[in-house]
Amino acid sequence: MPVTTMNGREIHVDDEGFLTEYDEWDKDLGAVLAQNIGIEMTDEHWKLIDFLRSDFKAQGETPTTRRVDTVGGFPTKVQFTLFPKKPAKKSAYIAGLPKPHGCV
């Protein structure tokens, strides 16, 4: 696994830059990741990120856009507003989770 330095520390990432170690993430790193892809985080963004991380911990896989809607209570339109064009991929990246299945 590749290792990169971000926010002053080494982190493990895959070939696309997604974190591979759940426990290496913290909110400060999430903010840096968001900045890397041009997302300005708000409280609503962090609520969705918190859901993704807790659901991943419980389920063992990154939630899909549909699951974030039905279980997390974030309608698909809201997801696209918060994370334009590719909400599942962008939010997973910021949350320090693997890319969701089915994302290109």
Task: Give the integer Cα–Cα distance in Å for 4 and 75.
Answer: 34
Mark whether 103 is an active-site residue: yes
Task: Give the integer Cα–Cα distance in Å for 21 and 11.
Answer: 8
Please, how many CA atoms are within 13 Å of residue 69, restricted to the half-sphere of its CB? Answer: 11
CB 52 within 8 A of CB 18: no
3-class SS shares of the chain: helix, strand, coil, % to 5: 50, 10, 40
Structure tokens at 52: 């993704």
Per annotation, catalytic residue among 31, 41, 78, 103 = 103
Active-site annotation, residues:
103
